[in-house]
């Protein structure tokens, strides 16, 4: 395992591999593909159309027009023009050999910290496990630049590193992980469960663990999606930091993720404007982060301030914000990091399990008599800890109502759920 990890780290660092990505530094789609390959730990070589003179020749060789980029060339054979993550996964054989028909002891939906922890514990305890992940392993944690409060890592660990290790660990114990395939429905017929995928394949399951986490809040700015990946980012990792080295940046949000992003970016950018809607940070951010922000002269906190407009053509060029006096001012800033909270990823469940008013999944004692009656709870017993309104279906991590929204708690819940999976299987 040690040799495997070191070898992989080395080939990723040197860009040795069977994938060539040709893209452009200002393109959001290029960033998406880079993120997908990076977060799946797949080594690739990157050539930039805007910076590398020889790239045009290469494009001609593969009969590709500059308008077709980003382009992924797999094994020097297949040329994929602006491919989806699923097309890349299929081309690289990420999901090769996974049997869709076989009934698993447990199907885990989502490969963030909660899902990967459940996979490690379930597989290590001899269960037959399949994990379904809509994007890449690691979830939100995978996008965190440095997690400093996870037990056992006194100097911190990047989310990508933690996710990579957990993914390898789950596979070591025999869990299968399906990449770039989202669950579209939880099927429950005659007390038998199944997870239907986007392409209408339904994977049968004896029990299910839902670990689909949450997704970022998007402020209602008219042209926001135009700049996503082209100046507007939801993650602040090493990759995004490279894009804005030496520039001024905005970080929006008053919670811990915003504080961490501001501190991380302050190491490479010229100046960080931390925009907060409320009148201060103390109600929403950990004290240790507030102290470090106060000690960092290149971070300026602007309270009662919010972005009102984004401007630019292909890439973000200017931002207008309204400050505490109500004045709207325009600033030449090319990078905005939105760190403004999240909603539960429960839309795919279509009300199949009881949810709270905000769409998070109710489990265990949070389920009222009315919830259980509405769900026609069939068992003689009450729901176990982390069990939803369907027996044998569990919810863990950020997707669960009342969860703590931390890596360690997601990991804890994922591993605890497995002991109840055993009980449900024995019933
Ligand atoms: C930038 C940032 C920094 C953070 N820093 C810290 C920190 O320092 N310390 C800390 O303790 N916490 C931190 N957090 C919070 C922490 O990352 C989360 O609490 C944790 O990741 C939750 O884990 P999870 O597995 O429940 O959900 P997630 O991490 O959200 O993972 C859910 C996974 O499910 C997948 N998924 C969603 N829908 C489907 C579907 N329909 N089918 C299949 N898969 C699906 C998603 O693609 C995702 O991979 C941070 C969060 C962010 C965003």
182 lines ligand 1 (CB under 6 A): yes
pLDDT of the residue at 404: 82
Last residue of a domain, one of 308, 338, 368: 338
345 lines ligand 1 (CB under 6 A): yes
- Distance of CA 149 from the midpoint of ligand 1 (Å): 15
Same domain, yes or no: 305 and 233: yes
Which ligand 1 atom minimizes the distance to the CA of 143? 1
CATH number of the CATH domain containing 27:
3.40.30.10
pLDDT of the residue at 85: 95
Token pair of 351 as six digits? 């009300």
Average pLDDT, the chain: 92
Same domain, yes or no: 189 and 274: no
Q: Whose CA is closest to 70, among 116, 30, 125, 36? A: 30
Same domain, yes or no: 133 and 187: yes
Residue 244 CA: distances (Å) to CA of 138, 238, 316 = 24, 10, 12
pLDDT digits (tens, 9 = 90+) for 249-299: 999 999 888 999 999 999 999 999 999 999 989 888 999 999 999 999 999
- Distance of CA 422 from the midpoint of ligand 1 (Å): 25
| pLDDT above 90: residue 36 | yes
| pLDDT above 80: residue 144 | no
Q: How far is CA 391 from the centre of its chain?
A: 28
259 lines ligand 1 (CB under 6 A): no
Last residue of a domain, one of 91, 124, 159: 91
Least confident of 76-90, 222-236, 332-346: 222-236
110 lines ligand 1 (CB under 6 A): yes
Across 305-321, average pLDDT: 94
pLDDT-based confidence at residue 121 (cuts at 50, 70, 90): very high
pLDDT of the residue at 98: 94
pLDDT-based confidence at residue 238 (cuts at 50, 70, 90): confident
Which residue did the predictor score with more confidence, 130 or 35?
Answer: 130
Across 188-199, average pLDDT: 88
pLDDT-based confidence at residue 142 (cuts at 50, 70, 90): confident
pLDDT of the residue at 80: 94
Question: What is the domain count for the chain?
Answer: 3
In a domain, 32, yes or no: yes
Which residue did the predictor score with more confidence, 47 or 65?
Answer: 47
Residue 130 CA: distances (Å) to CA of 114, 170, 175, 240, 241 = 14, 10, 6, 32, 34
pLDDT-based confidence at residue 146 (cuts at 50, 70, 90): confident
The neighbour count for residue 400, using CB atoms within 10 Å, is 30
In a domain, 366, yes or no: yes
114 lines ligand 1 (CB under 6 A): yes
Last residue of a domain, one of 57, 91, 125: 91
Same domain, yes or no: 187 and 283: no
Same domain, yes or no: 330 and 370: no
* Contact (CB, 8 A) for 231 and 336: yes
- Distance of CA 144 from the midpoint of ligand 1 (Å): 9
Same domain, yes or no: 113 and 211: yes
Kindly state the percentage of the chain with pLDDT values over 70. Answer: 100
Across 400-421, average pLDDT: 94
Range of the domain at 205: 104-215+342-426
CATH number of the CATH domain containing 145:
3.50.50.60
287 φψ region: left (φ > 0), alpha (ψ -120 to 50), beta (else)? alpha
Q: Whose CA is closest to 389, among 412, 360, 361? A: 361
Residue 154 CA: distances (Å) to CA of 117, 146, 149, 151 = 20, 11, 8, 8
Which ligand 1 atom minimizes the distance to the CA of 137? 49
In a domain, 245, yes or no: yes
Question: Rounded CA gap, 95 and 57, in Å?
Answer: 33
Same domain, yes or no: 333 and 406: no
pLDDT of the residue at 170: 96
| pLDDT above 90: residue 366 | yes
- Please tell me the residue having the least CA distance from ligand 1 atom 8: 147
- Please tell me the residue having the least CA distance from ligand 1 atom 15: 406
Same domain, yes or no: 328 and 362: no
All residues at 6 or more sequence positions from 373 whose CB lies less than 8 Å from its CB, including other chains: none
- Distance of CA 257 from the midpoint of ligand 1 (Å): 12
pLDDT-based confidence at residue 374 (cuts at 50, 70, 90): very high
Which ligand 1 atom minimizes the distance to the CA of 132? 43
395 lines ligand 1 (CB under 6 A): no
412 lines ligand 1 (CB under 6 A): no
Same domain, yes or no: 302 and 386: no
């Amino acid at each position: 395992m040690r040799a495997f990890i070191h070898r992989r780290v080395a080939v990723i660092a040197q860009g040795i591999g069977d994938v060539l990505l040709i893209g452009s530094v200002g393109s959001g789609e290029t960033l998406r593909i880079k993120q997908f390959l990076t977060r799946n730990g797949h080594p690739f070589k990157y050539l930039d159309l805007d910076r590398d003179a020889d790239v045009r020749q290469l494009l001609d060789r593969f009969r590709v027009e500059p308008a077709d980029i980003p382009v992924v060339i797999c094994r020097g054979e297949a040329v994929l023009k602006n491919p989806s993550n699923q097309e890349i996964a299929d081309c690289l054989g990420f999901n090769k050999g996974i049997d869709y028909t076989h009934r698993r002891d447990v199907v885990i939906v989502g490969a963030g910290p909660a899902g990967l922890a459940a996979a490690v514990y379930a597989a290590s305890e001899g269960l037959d496990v399949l994990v379904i992940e809509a994007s890449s392993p690691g979830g939100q944690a995978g996008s965190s630049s440095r997690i400093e409060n996870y037990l056992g890592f006194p100097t911190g660990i990047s989310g990508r590193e933690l996710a990579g290790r957990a993914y390898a660990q789950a596979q070591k114990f025999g869990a299968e992980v399906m990449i770039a395939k989202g669950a579209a429905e939880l099927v429950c017929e005659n007390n038998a469960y199944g997870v239907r995928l986007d392409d209408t394949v339904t994977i049968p399951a004896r029990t299910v663990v839902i670990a689909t986490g949450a997704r970022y809040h998007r402020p209602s700015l008219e042209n926001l999606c135009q700049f996503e990946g082209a100046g507007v980012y939801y993650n602040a990792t090493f990759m995004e930091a490279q894009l804005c080295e030496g520039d001024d940046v905005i970080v929006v949000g008053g919670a811990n993720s915003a504080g961490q992003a501001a501190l991380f970016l302050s190491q490479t950018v010229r100046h960080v404007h931390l925009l907060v809607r409320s009148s201060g940070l103390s109600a929403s951010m950990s004290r240790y982060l507030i102290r470090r922000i106060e000690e960092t002269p290149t971070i300026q906190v602007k309270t009662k301030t919010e972005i009102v407009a984004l401007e630019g053509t292909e890439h973000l060029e200017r931002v207008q914000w309204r400050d505490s006096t109500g004045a709207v001012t325009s600033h030449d800033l090319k990078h905005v990091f939105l760190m403004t909270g999240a909603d539960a990823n429960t839309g795919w469940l279509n009300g199949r399990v009881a949810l709270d008013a905000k769409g998070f999944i109710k489990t265990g004692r949070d389920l009222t008599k009315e919830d259980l009656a509405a769900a026609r709870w069939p068992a003689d017993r009450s729901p176990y800890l982390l069990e939803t309104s369907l027996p044998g279906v569990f919810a863990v991590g950020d997707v669960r109502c009342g969860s703590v929204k931390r890596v360690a708690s997601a990991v804890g819940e994922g591993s605890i759920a497995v002991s109840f999976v055993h009980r449900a299987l024995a019933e």
